[in-house]
Amino acid sequence: MSPLHDKNFESIEQHEHHHHIVSPRIYLTIVCILLAMTGLTVAASYVEMYVFNAVVALAIAAFKMILVVLFFMHVKYSTKLTKLTVGAGVFTFLILVGMTLSDYWTRAWGRW
Amino acid sequence: MSDSQVVSNQVVVHGAAEGAHHEHLPYQRHHFETYAQQSDATNFAMWLFLITEVMFFGGLFTAYLIMRNWYYPAFVEASHQLNIFWGTANTAVLITSSFTMAMAVWSAEMKKKGTLLLCLTITFILGLVFLGIKTIEYGEKIEKHHVPGFHYSMQSFLNPQSDPEVYKEYKDKPLSYDMARHTELYFFLYFAMTGMHALHMIIGIGILVFMIFRARAGAYTTGHVTFVENFGLYWHFVDIIWIYLFPLLYLISRHQ
């Protein structure tokens, strides 16, 4: 094993096995943003935006989800294995939904 | 290596049978090299479980997406029956409970027993408040016969003016009989999705009670935080489901 490889491996080990404690300040900031976003999405639903009402609401929901996953669920501070698992989960979920929708979409849409 | 020659042969054999035995924390399982490895493995398993949960709720969300597009007018008018005030209140309650749960994990990590108990108890109470509000909302549906089944009533959709509370806000036009029939599908999905979500809350609240008793006895503040940490992941996951249910069920059809 080359010294360089060894050194890299050690740094990965250290990085991966360091248990990060997220501070209450971060949690408090995140919860305030989440509550503000809830207010924003309710306010946005009172504005007539036609098809964009759904788009805006889902975009805000996705943003809130990302904050919860990264900070409350510690994924930002997690091992590469956890990050990969979460990413693969979301990816597989989107594939399944996408395939299902494309199947329904291309056969007798709405005639059931 | 001179030491090993002095030490009796027995010790060496014993060591070989046990594998490379090493000192470790009392809560570290024997088959893990280090505690970090153990907590990484447990964390990974928890995430795999949560992904199966994503797939489960994903099916319901996909059904909602397809049905809403097919029977759009029915889904729009049916969603006008939901009370935005209660929906918003419940979202705030659940997000706050996620925050107190995150603080519970922090308290366990910092080995603060009092704070841990306080955070777990507040999370427990907020979980009950959520279910209480959900009960009020379900009660309204039961009164109006909007629960799918033999007693389902399409009155609010065939003749919107018969439902003055909702009519004065949305001025909905009467639906044809065939379209009004499909409002039952909306309520079926509403009860399936919020009901499964509520079931997850009930299970979570049960585990919270268990954790409160264990924490009182001194658990989780010994440096072994895995259980609190992984329960936190579950609780936040349930919060995320609601973050999507709220706009999809309550908000996106206000102007249609």
How does pLDDT run across B40-84, given as a tens digit for each residue?
A: 999 999 999 999 999 999 999 999 999 999 999 999 999 999 999
Whether A37 has a pLDDT exceeding 90, the answer reads: yes
Quick one: pLDDT at residue B241? 98
Count the alpha carbons within 13 Å of B83 in the hemisphere toward its beta carbon. 14
Q: Which of A102-106, B118-122, B238-242 has the lowest mean pLDDT?
A: A102-106
**pLDDT, tens digit, 9 for 90 and up, residues B164-193:** 999 999 999 999 999 999 999 999 999 999
Q: Across A7-11, A46-50, B27-31, B234-238, which has the greatest mean pLDDT?
A: B234-238
Considering only CB atoms, which chain A residues are within 8 Å of B256? Answer: 53
- For the entire predicted model, the pTM comes to 0.88
- Most distant CA atoms of chain A, gap in Å: 66
| Model confidence band, residue B3 (pLDDT cutoffs 50, 70, 90) | very low
User: Mean per-residue pLDDT for A61-66?
Assistant: 98
The pair of structure tokens assigned to A87 is 């990413």
- pLDDT number for residue B35: 86
How many alpha carbons fall within 13 Å on the CB side of residue B147?
11
Q: How far is A40 from chain B (nearest CA, A)?
A: 11
Mean pLDDT for chain B?
A: 91
Asked whether the predicted pLDDT for residue B12 surpasses 90, the reply is no
pLDDT at position B4 over 50: no
CA distance B11 to chain A (A): 31
Mean pLDDT, to the nearest integer, of B189-200?
Answer: 98
What's the pLDDT at B117?
Answer: 98
Residue A107's pLDDT is what?
A: 85
The Cα–Cα gap between B236 and A72 comes to 7
- Measured between beta carbons, which residues in chain B are less than 8 angstroms from residue A10? none
Backbone angles phi, psi at B40, to 5 degrees: -65, -45
Give A-chain residues touching B122 at CB under 8 angstroms: none
What pLDDT is recorded for position B21?
56
CB-CB contact of B71 with B179 (8 Å): yes
Residue A95 has a pLDDT of 96
User: Over pLDDT 90: what percentage of chain B?
Assistant: 84
Q: How far apart are CA B254 and CA A50, in angstroms?
A: 10
Probe site for chain B from A17, A21, A42, A105 (most B CB atoms < 10 A): A42
pLDDT of B10 reads: 41
Q: Three-state DSSP class for B163?
A: coil
Contact assignment for B110 to A21 by CB distance below 8 Å:
yes
pLDDT at B133: 98
ipTM (interface pTM):
0.89
Alpha carbons A104 and B87: distance in angstroms, whole number:
31
Helices (H), chain B: 2-6, 9-17, 35-70, 72-79, 84-109, 113-143, 155-158, 164-170, 177-181, 183-216, 226-246
